Amino acid sequence: MDRRGFLKTAAIAASGALAAPRLSLAAGSKTLRFVPQANLANLDPIWTTQYVVRNGGLLIWDMLLGVDDTLQPKPQMVESWDSSPDFKTWTFTLRPGLKFHDGEPVRARDVVASINRWMVRDAPMGLPIKKRIDALEAVDDRTFRFRLNQPYPKMLFALGKSSTPCLFIMPERIAATDPYKQISEYIGSGPMRFKKDEWVPGARAVFEKFDGYVPRAEKSNWLSGGKRINFERIEWQIVPDGATAAAALQSGEVDWLETPIADLYPLLQKAPNVAVDIADPLGNIGSFRVNHLYPPFSDVRARRAVQIALSQEDYMGAVVGDDSSLWKTLPGFFTPGTPLYTENGGERLKGKRDYDLAKQLLADAGYKNEPIILLVATDVPITKAQGDVTADLLKRIGMNVQYQALDWGTVGQRRASKEPPDKGGWHIFHTWHAGADCISPAPYTALDASGGTAWFGWPKSDLVQEKIAAWYAAPDLAAEKTAIAELNKAAMDFVVYIPTGFFQFKQAWRTNLSGIVKAPFPVFWDVTKA
């Protein structure tokens, strides 16, 4: 029996008797039971860029601005703002009545401390602001101001973007934590409190409605507008086994699956009282991430060896399954269907796979059968599928693979290590990037090639950074497209990372839920349960 047949059979069997301890039957309309994409192993959305942490953070911490479904920043905590004509001075005023979960008011000094911590960890947008700052100051309790020495016209998007790390506002005492160390206190001003006393990593995380939260008057739209929560509790149930999760949804033991296994879409679509639909209209880009600090991938020839041997069809078939309408090959880094999409420089991902040339490039790079540490998060179907394909690929081109099966939380810890691979570091890990994060260089953390301040893998290319800067300086869309075409080629030639394809996945929920929307993250506000 093949993998897909096994999963389908397991799901049917599990619907009669769950393989994991049974959850109590779904609670009433005031409790929402949600199965997230992965275990919530930590909860510091500045320290890590894992989407599951960002998604939990959206319930706890509020944002100054938030993007809507056109990716335009709209006011959230901010009441108003003003910028000088040269975009060097930005002044913001908070809306009145903002309150943290501990009862303290939100003050401008909390915002300043939160921005200072965020800027250090956000290479594409935060660090460029930090480099331009003459002063970031709290003018009074509700007003704060940036005084910059260079223009920064994209300030509003930077403060409201959905890509990780988002700018979440924390109390000053928490935001004062070293940005390279995890916080241990989870106090925000968002619509839900985090119940730390009920948190069992690997099993459950609980959020409780914060009665002191005052939503904006506007209708909600992604991260903008009024975040009205219709539940007293939102319980995240961690169910790593996909068949068990699907069975729990069918039986009514949970209400909503963020990322059901693709092989089980047909089963769930036929199930009574279950709805299945695309989760995110902008889709996702699969990611093969290498460590640029150590051999063999410190040599571009080794990176290109993998690039020319890799089959995106193999990866997408493993990630999404038989439905080819849900994926496409991607000889570029930017989201298909968006204004800046380009395939310039993507020839190595379009041509026939060449294992012999890959082996020669590895030899030229000095590779001599050293162990290659491949970190695979086996509790997340997307990363598990990619890791399995990679293990086979590397063996085909003569690499000595050490497949390390881990949970996603542990991968999140390990990938942050700059230690040598044989001393607790790594060579390769897999992830994915939301299409909303890949529309341009502004939110695109994974494409930054600034070296030590870049995302995990720490690529360093002056040419790539030069092309990113050219996009920022572009006066119009035509100039932006030219800069992006040149950037795509430079990043492909340097192999910042290797896209494994573009795909969409689906979410599934009980039909007694209303208000589920398509977005790059689960939107809990305005959802109701009959």
What pLDDT sits at residue 16? 44
Last residue of a domain, one of 135, 155, 175: 175
Q: Are 425 and 457 part of one and the same domain?
A: yes
Q: Is 180 domain-assigned?
A: no
Closest CA to 367 of 295, 300, 298, 310: 295
CA-CA distance, 374 to 428, in Å (whole number)? 5
Please check whether residues 209 and 156 belong to one and the same domain. Answer: no
CATH number, residue 78: 3.90.76.10
DSSP-assigned letter for residue 181: S
DSSP 197: G
CATH number at residue 380: 3.10.105.10
Q: Quick check: 89 and 148 in contact, CB under 8 A?
A: yes
Same-domain status, 133 and 38:
no
pLDDT at 25: 53
Residue environment code for 334-371, b if the CB has 16+ CB neighbours within 10 A, otherwise e: bbeeeebbbbbbbebbeeebeeeebbebbeebebeebe
Task: Based on the fold, state whether residues 465 and 521 are members of the same structural domain.
Answer: no
CATH code (residue 246): 3.40.190.10
Backbone angles phi, psi at 524, to 5 degrees: -90, -25
The verdict on 70 and 36 lying in the same domain is no
CB 488 within 8 A of CB 274: no
Q: Check the CA dihedral 31-36-39-40 and report its sign.
A: negative
Q: How many domains does the chain have?
A: 3
* pLDDT for position 28: 83
Do residues 436 and 282 lie in contact, with contact meaning Cβ atoms separated by under 8 Å?
yes
- pLDDT for position 1: 39
Q: What is the pLDDT of residue 465?
A: 98
Identify whether residues 155 and 213 lie together within a single domain: no
407 and 470 housed in the same domain: yes
- 444 close to 414: Cβ distance less than 8 angstroms: no
* Phi, psi torsion values for 25, nearest 5 degrees: -55, 150
Structural domain of 375: 284-503
Within this chain, do residues 305 and 160 fall inside the same structural domain, yes or no?
no
Backbone angles phi, psi at 123, to 5 degrees: -65, -45
Nearest to 158 by CA among 138, 180, 128: 128
- CB 433 within 8 Å of CB 441: no
Same domain, 116 and 254: no
| Domain identity same for 439 and 474 | yes
From first to last of its 530 residues, the chain has per-residue pLDDT tens of 355 554 455 555 544 433 344 455 556 889 999 999 999 999 999 999 999 999 999 999 999 999 999 999 999 999 999 999 999 999 999 999 999 999 999 999 999 999 999 999 999 999 999 999 999 999 999 999 999 999 999 999 999 999 999 999 999 999 999 999 999 999 999 999 999 999 999 999 999 999 999 999 999 999 999 999 999 999 999 999 999 999 999 999 999 999 999 999 999 999 999 999 999 999 999 999 999 999 999 999 999 999 999 999 999 999 999 899 999 999 999 999 999 999 999 999 998 999 999 999 999 999 999 999 999 999 999 999 999 999 999 999 999 999 999 999 999 999 999 999 999 999 999 999 999 999 999 999 999 999 999 999 999 999 999 999 999 999 999 999 999 999 999 999 999 999 999 999 999 999 999 999 999 999 999 999 99
Residue in 233, 208, 229 with CA at minimum distance from that of residue 31: 233
Separation CA 485–CA 488 (nearest Å): 5
Q: Is the dihedral of CA 244, 249, 254, 256 positive or negative?
A: positive
For the record, the structure tokens of 519 come out as 């977005």
**Same domain as 313, residue 263:** no
What is the C-alpha to C-alpha distance for residues 293 and 302, in angstroms, rounded to an integer? 13
Same domain membership, residue 317 and residue 266: no
Question: What is this structure's pTM?
Answer: 0.93
The two tokens of residue 305 are 């060896």
